[in-house]
Chains A and B, each alone.
Chain A
Amino acid sequence: MPKPLPTESQDSSFYEKHAKVYPREVHGLFATLRVTGVLVLLGIYYFVPWFRWNDRQAVLFDLPERRFYIFDLTFWPQDFFYLAVILIIAGLSLFFFTALAGRLWCGYACPQTVWTEVFLWIERKIEGDRNKQIKLDKAPMSKAKFWRKSLKHCIWIIFSAWTGFTFVGYFTPITELGQSIMQLNLGPWEWFWTIFYSAATYGNAGWMREQVCIYMCPYARFQSAMFDRNTLIISYDQDRGEPRGSRNKSEDPKSRGLGDCIDCKLCVQVCPTGIDIREGLQYQCIGCAACVDVCNQVMDKMGYPSNLVSYTTQNAIDGLKTRVMRPRIIIYSLVLLGLTVALVYSMATRIPLELDIIRDRTALFRTTPTGYIENIYTLKIANKDTVTHDYNLVAQTTFDSRFQMRENTIRVEAGESGTFTATIQADPVQLKSMSEKVTFTLTSTDNPQLTVTETGVFIGPVR
């Protein structure tokens, strides 16, 4: 008899059947912090593309032109290095803050959280609070239900469309994008990405919500690796709360052998991922502290001390001392500091000029009628500055040579690149070897600081 092959989930499904979560509205310190975070972050997101700087959009990742503009800085594809360093810094910051304070990112700053918060707010305004929403969903379809649901989806879609439009506005100039959308003559790709991003917002914040965090987010899966016993987590004080049970406010819980948890289940109702924090730390917990806020209100009402559910650390729970400065934190902060300083330094000292020397590939060299050896070079000059410059080019050789530019002036417009041609001629008797080094120095005529040096080779006949 063949034995059934072992599978990971023989009898119980790894994934539970999805039940809709209706997070209850919550007020309190952490809810206020989150709403502030939402307003600030979304404010930045929706406002930044409209901000003007020197007659152009201040922040524009101009994909069609292959230039990134951030205020006075212009980045070219060759500057990808900076983007890579910025991404590494962002990743390390995430590690640092996770080790220090758990899932701060998830609870307060993640776009999924932020947009879901807005969608929940719209839903609450239209369908009412948690109980009304549950009732409405259970009720059979009626005119009133249909109207409410349609209104909700309409507003969600309008909000998503604005979000998608703003997103594309980071990549193509937003004022022109707005005009062409008004006249409905957007390019096909702009249409596509606006609709794509809008649909993603609508789907993720309206429908998927906590499932994105639980099933789709890679960070949610590996964040626990950054946790240690000193990391800030949200935890229920089991020793104080258990045994849980309902009671009258006037009763002394001790006389009935009860702990401080009155088992009101509000902590479960406010949870956006629908877990019970009293069961301990779970990977579904995004650290939003909604349960902390609501439990503290209940504790206040009961006249019990607050923080039955609170931000704490494993060490604090076990009655040990919490250490903030530990090797992990020190190493993360040092690396982070080092990278940030290096990035700022290299950006500050960055010379917005690039020179590429390309030797003529068709012939290694040419012999002139007067018997001189001539090499031809194509020079690609990229002016990454925000103003137009004229440049001077000097070629230094170890042998006697005649250097000449085909063009009379080397002028490159701001943010443009130009192609120029230069020739170097030398008497063959002067050449010591077949290949000689040439140093090209390009300097701006109006600013001697603006200078780059590149080396090339001068090729002569075999000796």
Chain B
Amino acid sequence: MEAGAEFIGGVEVQNNVPVIQKLIAVLWPSFLTAGVATILFFTAFDPQLIMSVSGYGTVSRLGGYTIGFFLFWILTAGSCALTCYFQRPCSTRQD
């Protein structure tokens, strides 16, 4: 998708933010917050214990941290993407 005009709800809206900036706006803040969440979460919970207790088999701790980090990243990126999406003006009621 290139930058330019976009039609949302039949209304022409200028959309001049390049795609790469939108991607950064979604992926980068979520990366930072996912990092913080990973540190906080795994300080309190040992991934090996969680995995074995919940019956997911064995995974190394480093593997647990990595999986945890990416899970957090997917979640935070998801909310960033939703924020981005809801920021787009929606169609107003037409009189």
Contacts and interface: CB of A to CB of B under 8 A. Distances in A.
B54 interface: no
A2 B11 contact: yes
A192 interface: yes
Interface stretch (A8-16, A239-247, A343-351): A8-16
B28 A216 contact: yes
A2 B65 contact: no
A215 B24 contact: yes
Interface in B13-42: 13-18, 21, 24, 28-29, 32
Nearest to A16: B18
A5 interface: yes
A15 B17 contact: yes
A63 B17 contact: no
Nearest to B40: A80
A294 B65 CA distance: 47
Given A7-B15, A14-B16, A192-B66, 9 more contacts: A2-B94, A7-B89, A9-B14, A15-B21, A64-B61, A66-B46, A77-B46, A187-B62, A189-B60
Given A13-B16, A216-B28, A64 B60 contact: yes
B17 A9 contact: yes
Contacts of B3: 13
A13 B17 contact: yes
Interface residues of B, number: 28
Interface in B45-95: 46, 60-63, 65-66, 89, 92, 94
Nearest to B36: A87
Given A7-B13, A11-B14, A216-B24, A2 B62 contact: no
A38 to B, nearest CB: 25
28 contacts: A2-B94, A4-B11, A4-B13, A5-B11, A5-B13, A7-B14, A7-B89, A9-B14, A9-B16, A12-B16, A13-B17, A13-B18, A63-B61, A63-B62, A64-B61, A64-B62, A65-B61, A66-B46, A66-B61, A189-B60, A189-B62, A189-B65, A189-B66, A190-B62, A192-B66, A193-B66, A218-B29, A218-B32
Interface of B, helix, strand, loop or mixed by DSSP:
mixed
Contacts of B43: 77, 80, 83
B1 interface: no
Nearest to A208: B24
Identify the interface centre among B15, B24, B43, B89: most chain A CB within 10 Å of its CB: B43
- In the A-B complex, the 4 residue pairs with the smallest Cβ-Cβ separation, listed nearest first, are A13-B16, A189-B62, A5-B89, A80-B43
Interface of A: 2, 4-5, 7, 9-15, 63-66, 77, 80, 83, 171-172, 187-190, 192-193, 215-216, 218
A189 B17 CA distance: 36
Contacts of B63: 188-189
A366 B52 CA distance: 31
A187 B60 contact: yes
A124 B64 CA distance: 42
Contacts of B28: 216
Given A64-B61, A189-B62, A4 B12 contact: yes
A212 to B, nearest CB: 9
Nearest to B12: A4
B60 A10 contact: no
A65 B89 CA distance: 50
B93 to A, nearest CB: 10
A10 B46 contact: no
Contacts of A187: 60, 62
A188 to B, nearest CB: 7
